[in-house]
Amino acid sequence: MTEPLPLADRVAKDIRDLLITGALAPGQRLSEAAFSERLDISRNSLREAFRLLTKDGLLRHEANRGVFVSVPSTDSIIDIYRVRRMLECGALRQAWPKHPAVAVMRGAVEHARKQHDLADWREVGSANMKFHAAVVDLSDSSRLSDFYARVAAELRLSFGLLKDPEQLHSPFVDMNAQILELVEKGEVVEAASQMELYLNLSERTVLKALERIAR
């Protein structure tokens, strides 16, 4: 039986989930009063959760100003994609087509397509995050999945820096669907190759968009 997480770890996970869904923006100040009320916890427990997320690089503390959501740098984004290639491509190469995570991937693709038609780009982005978390779950390693959750939160923050979410998310809905179809057919080596192409394109898209913002 799995031991329950300590309260601060559970709260840190809840806040990380908010980052992954795009509910918190890069540079946003997090009010202790508002979050302790929102999550129904004491400020001491919240501060410990903030400390854990600061250690992970997802939050930053500024003296006399408070706690803020981190703003990813270009170097950190490059490193995120390096990690993603190792985790996601590796998971796909050894994937089992009947793995339960494949159904999660299918559900994420279908949800992304519906939200794409509604031009709800935040939801398309959230479906995309769910798809790629499920890809890592194909590895059957709780440690890798937990690690990827931290990476995914930082990744979503980089998406939050971009001014054109349609450009960021729209092209990748069909690419996710293609990777899914390859996995379902058992063509997992080709699926891994397609994922590497996907990640290369996604990385270039994010970095070019950030270059335009910096000008």
- The pLDDT score that the predictor gives to residue 110 is 98
Most confident of 53-67, 90-104, 197-211: 90-104
**Does residue 118 carry a pLDDT above 60?**
yes
| Angstrom distance (rounded) from CA 207 to CA 77 | 8
When the pLDDT of each residue in the chain is averaged and rounded to a whole number, the result is 91
Neighbour order of strands in the sheet with 59-62: 29-30, 66-69, 59-62
pLDDT tens, position by position, 178-195: 999 999 999 999 999 999
Per-residue pLDDT averaged across 38-44, rounded?
A: 91
**Does residue 214 carry a pLDDT above 70?**
no
Percent of the chain with pLDDT over 70: 97
Buried b (16+ CB within 10 A) or exposed e, 93-130: eebeeebebbebbbebbebbeebbeeebbebbbbbbbb
Contact present, 39 and 46 (Cβ < 8 Å): yes
Per-residue pLDDT averaged across 115-136, rounded?
A: 94
**Does residue 1 carry a pLDDT above 50?**
no
- The pLDDT score that the predictor gives to residue 36 is 92
Per-residue pLDDT averaged across 43-58, rounded?
A: 93
Q: What angle do CA 22, 10, 40 make, to 5 degrees?
A: 85
Per-residue pLDDT averaged across 102-129, rounded?
A: 95
Strand partners, 30: 67
The candidate with the shortest Cα–Cα distance to 175, out of 151, 152, 202, is 202
Please provide residue 27's backbone torsions phi and psi, each rounded to the nearest 5 degrees.
85, -5
Contact present, 116 and 108 (Cβ < 8 Å): no
User: Which amino acid belongs to residue 118?
Assistant: L
**What are the C-alpha distances in Å from 192 to residues 4, 30, 92, 94?**
34, 38, 5, 9
